[in-house]
Amino acid sequence: MRTQILGILTLIAMLATFYAVFIYAPDIKDQGVTGRIVLIHVPIAILGLLFVVPVFVGNILYLIKRDLKFDRFASCAAEITVLLISLTLATGMIWAKPIWGDWWVWDPRLTLELILWLTLVGYFMLRAYLPDREKKAKLSSVLGILAMINAPINYMVIRITDRTQHPQPIIAPSDPNAGMAPEIANAMMISFIAFTLLFVYLFDRRLKVAKIEDEVDRLESVVLAQ
């Protein structure tokens, strides 16, 4: 029932997002229609950094308690995070080409985002090549913790350095010079809520599937041991 309710709310929120982003919100100043990508890119980018937290928490709890359910939680969160970071990079490049004239620049924020993506890809490569379940959980947790170190630096880098081409934060209610129309701010918030619901829904479904996968692996081990 919980999953069904979450799914329905997600569908409603995503429909509202399509309306808000493509119809309700005006073009962003000096960016034209291309600027609407930002209304999708920014919420996904924020969620990508936020989803690193459950990866970190799951890995730390596994190292403390040695309970594989925490590793399962961390790995499922890492899958969602890889998807989010991939979408962040893709939408960012689609926006950058017409605005900057290049698909990619070696900007501090972009570089840290790429490092975060590579860290999580390495996390899954390590898990794929290690046959032992507990060794897999233990060693991959190191990369999960490294991802957590990256996330706050990634978030703060455009605020602490002027050597960046990445736009400064555009959501700044306390800044009268932020230049964001109320409709754009509203569309951004609707988009953030919708994508939050979507990826929480995907995370919930993935956890259920992973639990079944672990149970199947356990039963196979029991059968092979007999």
Domain span including residue 66: 2-171+178-216
Residue 188 inside a domain? The answer is: yes
Average pLDDT over residues 78-106: 90
Per mean pLDDT, which range of 30-39, 45-54, 189-198, 203-212 is the poorest? 30-39
pLDDT of residue 76: 95
147 within some domain: yes
Number of independent structural domains in the chain: 1
SS3 for 53-103 is HHHHHHHHHHHHHCCHHHHHHHHHHHHHHHHHHHHHHHHHHHHHHHHHCCC
**Which alpha helices (H) appear in 130-181, and where do they start and end?**
133-160
Average pLDDT, integer, range 202-206:
94
Question: Does residue 221 belong to any structural domain of this protein?
Answer: no
Confidence at residue 57, expressed as pLDDT on a 0 to 100 scale: 95
Q: Is the confidence at residue 156, as pLDDT, over 60?
A: yes
Would you say residue 195 lies in a domain? yes
> Does any domain span residue 138?
yes
Q: Is 61 a member of any domain?
A: yes
C-alpha closest to that of 113 among 182, 166, 181, 70: 166
Residue 130 lies in a domain: yes
32 sits in the region (left: phi over 0; alpha: psi -120 to 50; else beta) called left
Q: How many residues comprise the chain?
A: 226
pTM beyond 0.85: yes
Q: Is residue 117 part of a domain?
A: yes
- The Cα 67–Cα 137 span in angstroms is 10
Asked if pLDDT for residue 170 goes beyond 70, the answer is no
Percent of residues, the chain, with pLDDT higher than 90: 44
Lowest mean per-residue pLDDT among 19-28, 150-159, 176-185 = 176-185
